[in-house]
Amino acid sequence: AEDHACQTTCRRVLMTKSTDQEIVDGLIEGCKKMPLPQDPLWQCFLESSGSSNPDNSTNGLPAPAVDGAKLHCCSKANTSSCRDLCIKLYSTRWGSRTHWQEFDRLCEYNPLEAAMFTCLADVREPCQLGCQGLKYCTNFNNRPTELFRSCNIQSDQGAKNDMKLWEKGTIKMPFLNIPVKNIKTCQPEMWKAVACSLQIKPCHSKSGGSICK
Q: What is the pLDDT of residue 112?
A: 93
132 plus 195 within the same structural domain? yes
Instruction: Judge whether 43 lies within some domain.
Output: no
Q: Quick one: three-class SS letters along 174-205? A: CCEEEECCCCCCCCHHHHHHHHHHHHHCECCC
Q: Which domain holds residue 194?
A: 128-200
Residue 207: pLDDT above 50?
Answer: no
Domains of the chain: total: 3
103 plus 134 within the same structural domain? no
183 plus 133 within the same structural domain? yes
Nearest to 167 by CA among 184, 190, 186, 191: 184
Nearest to 135 by CA among 62, 63, 192: 192
Q: What are phi and psi of 156, to 5 degrees?
A: -60, -45
Instruction: Judge whether 79 lies within some domain.
Output: yes
pLDDT tens digits, residue range 91-138? 765 556 677 888 888 898 899 999 999 999 998 899 999 999 999 999
Q: Mean of the pLDDT values across residues 172-182?
A: 81
Nearest to 98 by CA among 110, 89, 90: 89
- Which of 79, 109, 124 terminates a domain? The answer is 124
Instruction: Judge whether 52 lies within some domain.
Output: no
Q: What is the pLDDT of residue 171?
A: 86
116 plus 86 within the same structural domain? yes
Tell me how far apart the alpha carbons of residues 46 and 86 are, in angstroms, rounded to a whole number: 15
Instruction: Judge whether 10 lies within some domain.
Output: yes
Helix (H, G, I), strand (E, B) or coil at 27: helix
132 plus 191 within the same structural domain? yes
Instruction: Judge whether 80 lies within some domain.
Output: yes
Range of lowest pLDDT (21-35, 52-66, 137-151, 156-170): 52-66
Instruction: Judge whether 78 lies within some domain.
Output: yes
Tell me how far apart the alpha carbons of residues 20 and 51 are, in angstroms, rounded to a whole number: 13
103 plus 139 within the same structural domain? no
90 plus 114 within the same structural domain? yes
73 plus 95 within the same structural domain? yes
Instruction: Judge whether 132 lies within some domain.
Output: yes
pLDDT tens digits, residue range 26-85? 777 777 665 555 466 665 655 555 444 444 443 443 444 456 778 889 989 999 899 988
Residue 18: pLDDT above 70?
Answer: no
Instruction: Judge whether 155 lies within some domain.
Output: yes
188 plus 141 within the same structural domain? yes
- Which of 108, 124, 140 terminates a domain? The answer is 124
Q: Would you state the torsion angle of the CA atoms of residues 145, 150, 154, 156, taken in this order, to the nearest 10 degrees? A: -60
Q: What is the pLDDT of residue 61?
A: 39
Q: What is the pLDDT of residue 36?
A: 56
Q: What are phi and psi of 97, to 5 degrees?
A: -60, -40
Nearest to 161 by CA among 131, 126, 198, 125: 198
106 plus 160 within the same structural domain? no
Burial of 71 (0-12, 13-18, 19+ CB in 10 A): buried
